[in-house]
Amino acid sequence: MSTAESATSTATRRTPGLVPVTETMRTTERTEEPATDHPAAGPSGPSAPSGRRSAARATWAFWRLLGSELGLTFRRPRNLVMLAVLAAVPVVIGVTLRLVGGSDDGMGGIIQAVAGNSLMLTFVSFSFLVLLLMPVAISVVAGDSIAGEAGGGTLRYLLAAPAGRTRLLAVKYLNAVVYAYAVTAVVALSALLTGLVLFPAGPVTLLSGTTIPVLDGLVRIAITVGYVGAGMAALAAIALALSTFTEVSIGAIAGTMVLVIVCQVLRAIPELGSITPYLLPTKFTNFDAVLRSPIDTGALADGLLTFGAYILLFGTIAWARFSGKDITS
Amino acid sequence: MTAVMQEAGAPFGAAPPSGDAIVTEGLTKRFRGGQVAVDALDLAVPRGSVFGFLGPNGSGKTTTIRMLLGLVAPTAGEYAVLGLPQAEALPKVGALVEGPAFYPYLSGTANLMRFDAADPYAVRGTVRRRVEEALERVGLSAAAGKRYRNYSLGMRQRLAIAAALLGPRELLILDEPTNGLDPQGTREVRALVKEIAADGTTVFVSSHLLAEVEQMCTHAAIMRAGRLVAQGTIASLNGGLVTRIRVETPDEPGAARVLGSLGLAEVRIEGGQVLAELGGHAPEQINAALVGEGVAVRGLAVVRPSLEDVFVGLTGEGFDVDG
């Protein structure tokens, strides 16, 4: 309290309580300031709890906002349709392979592998989906996250609530990550069920030729889901960053997809082999490391590090842009 | 020009609860294109007032409100809302900014729940009751379950006001609250504002409709092209201009003579009417004097200067000129 008095007495021309411009944007984030010297917080207003109660309240409020966000995401028909489409793809692949494999004219590796074991369909499905269709779904949700609110005008009301810029961005990103894992899990589950119905269950033969028991196979599928989900979370960070630059969500979504496709094209050019390892989609397919014996943890760790770097980089870009942006929509 | 404090970490909130609800000092916003939307604004909104923030379209009202809510960063100057740091002030502020904006695929209730979830101070346990009360207050209870997409313009505006009333508020910032409302809705909003103000809540209403503000506000500030033209109580704003009396009569010279003999200044005749400055005279005594002198009175009215007259007097132009 004494510091407050000395501050106001030294700054003579200053009206008490005025917030310096440089402070205003950032102080919005400081929701947990112990507010013991704010008698203005009367019984009608939000009380000014201090210390741990304030921190607990902030934590609950964060989960509440995330819950609201997840509720919106998972009730929105568009997002559910994308999940349904992605769930249908492994079924289509499974049925096709079953029909082709049934003709038994000595087809190549993939079909034999799948026809030989139900669990293999999961890996085949991921290698089909991970480079295009799954990124589309993740881009739509993450690219829409900030831009969609800005375009609809709801962003100004969320921030005036006040949601807090960093807090809102964190909630939006976590929401996109949950959706990314939901997409990944749905694909894996659909592929697993389809595989069990259409193909014989039993020990899995890996790429390296060794055979592992079913339980071990399931563990490897779980690892794949974890890895692919992390890759999609990295992609979500890019889409989120783009989303903070526009009020048109389709722009952020298309921008992310263009990036993904450009990366695929670059990977296809042999002369550019030196940059390929740094492109995000290159690491998406690293999940086949779980099909080695033993699991190629080096390749997985390499991919996860890349994902982490992308999340850090684009998360920072998103934060830097969003925390200082004038909201004029 | 930039009056940025050095002791940035110093605790704020030294302002007593009786201080101003909104203070700005030299608040300026220059957009990237170089256009100055708000130019060195010094605003003081007393607690408990109903403050009309007036100006033609494009005069910087909404930009000012966006700065107060932390949506737009000022280029220069300082401001304080409720004398608190922004994160602590905003939960006590209900706001309607530049028209309603909601999720079209959600119902009115679900929309309000969504914005309540964004407020870190809102109590989850009471949200149902608070949402119901807010909807009740703006007369939307019957449409609570309807999707926002199917709301009429007036219903959307009401829902936005309901969102501003979700929690206990010390300050309500309403940007053009009667936009899109029919006359009945406008009257209801006016009554609602008075009711809210009666509870001690400060209400800051922006409008380009001067007459509307005059009817519900205790204080007003007038903006023109980003600059503050005048501010104060409605009475003090009108103070510079005189109140006149207008007598409708077939006997104009007779009425003018009586008014002159009563000591009224600036008596003049305008086709069937006699006008004079009222001064400290009571209209009913003037009427009695006129009748006593045998002057036929068809109508008698006290003409108070409107804010529009104030604006024209201060700027020399009509109010509806865009900045």
How does pLDDT run across B272-295, given as a tens digit for each residue? Answer: 888 888 878 888 888 888 898 888
Does an H or E element contain B28, and which? Answer: strand B20-30
Residues across chain A: 329
Angstroms from A178 CA to nearest CA on chain B: 19
Confidence at residue A103, expressed as pLDDT on a 0 to 100 scale: 56
Q: Mean pLDDT across chain A, nearest whole number?
A: 84
Confidence at residue B234, expressed as pLDDT on a 0 to 100 scale: 85
pLDDT classification of A66: cutoffs 50, 70, 90: very high
Confidence at residue A142, expressed as pLDDT on a 0 to 100 scale: 97
- Which residues in chain A are contacts of B91 at CB distance < 8 A? 45-46, 161-162
- Contact between chains at B101 and A328 (C-beta distance less than 8 A): no
Domains detected in chain B? 20-234 (3.40.50.300), 242-304 (3.30.70.100)
Residue A172 covered by a domain: yes
pLDDT in tens, A87-145: 999 999 999 888 886 555 555 566 666 767 888 899 999 999 999 999 999 999 999 99
Confidence at residue A158, expressed as pLDDT on a 0 to 100 scale: 96
- Which residues in chain B are contacts of A249 at CB distance < 8 A? none
**Of A131, A128, A130, A119, whose CA–CA distance to A206 is shortest?**
A119
Which range is least confidently modeled, A168-177, A203-212, B82-91, B112-121?
A203-212
* Contact residues for A119 (Cβ-Cβ < 8 A; gap 6+): A192, A195, A201, A204, A214, A217, A218, A221
Strand, coil or helix: B227: strand
Residue B270 has, within 13 A of its CA and on its CB side, a CA count of 8
Does an H or E element contain A98, and which? Answer: helix A77-103
Residue with the two structure tokens 């009475």: B235
Confidence at residue A35, expressed as pLDDT on a 0 to 100 scale: 37
Does an H or E element contain B44, and which? Answer: strand B36-46
| Residue span of the structural domain in which A73 resides | 62-323
**Of B205, B220, B161, B210, whose CA–CA distance to B185 is shortest?**
B161
Complete DSSP assignment for A219-273: HHHHHHHHHHHHHHHHHHHHHHHHHTT-S-HHHHHHHHHHHHHHHHHHHH-GGGT
CB-based contact A152:A102 (threshold 8 Å): no
Residue with the two structure tokens 């101003």: B20
Residue A271 covered by a domain: yes
Provide, rounded to the nearest whole percent, the portion of chain B with pLDDT above 70.
91
Per-residue pLDDT, averaged over B123-128, amounts to: 91
Of A227 and B236, more confident: A227
- Contact between chains at B87 and A33 (C-beta distance less than 8 A): yes
pLDDT classification of A260: cutoffs 50, 70, 90: very high
Angstroms from A10 CA to nearest CA on chain B: 10
Question: What is the total count of domains within chain A?
Answer: 1
Q: Which residues pair with B299 in a beta bridge?
A: B248
pLDDT classification of A50: cutoffs 50, 70, 90: low
Residue A123 covered by a domain: yes
Residue A22 covered by a domain: no
Residue A184 covered by a domain: yes
Confidence at residue A174, expressed as pLDDT on a 0 to 100 scale: 98
pLDDT in tens, A202-232: 888 887 778 888 888 999 999 999 999 999 9
Residue A16, chain B, CB below 8 Å: the answer is yes
Angstroms from B31 CA to nearest CA on chain A: 9
pLDDT in tens, B48-75: 999 999 888 888 999 999 999 999 999 9
Confidence at residue A26, expressed as pLDDT on a 0 to 100 scale: 41
Residue A52 covered by a domain: no
Q: Least CA distance to B3: which residue of chain A? A: A20
Confidence at residue A85, expressed as pLDDT on a 0 to 100 scale: 97
d(CA A48, CA A324): 27
- pLDDT at residue B198 tops 60: yes
Tally Cβ neighbours within 10 Å of residue A52. Answer: 8
Confidence at residue B145, expressed as pLDDT on a 0 to 100 scale: 95
d(CA A194, CA A90): 7
User: Which of A27, A67, A76 lies at the smallest CB-CB distance from B87?
Assistant: A27
- Which residues in chain B are contacts of A61 at CB distance < 8 A? 119-122
- Model ipTM value: 0.81
- Which residues in chain B are contacts of A161 at CB distance < 8 A? 90-91, 115-116, 118-119
Residue A310 covered by a domain: yes
Per-residue pLDDT, averaged over A292-320, amounts to: 94
Residue A74 covered by a domain: yes
Confidence at residue B268, expressed as pLDDT on a 0 to 100 scale: 85
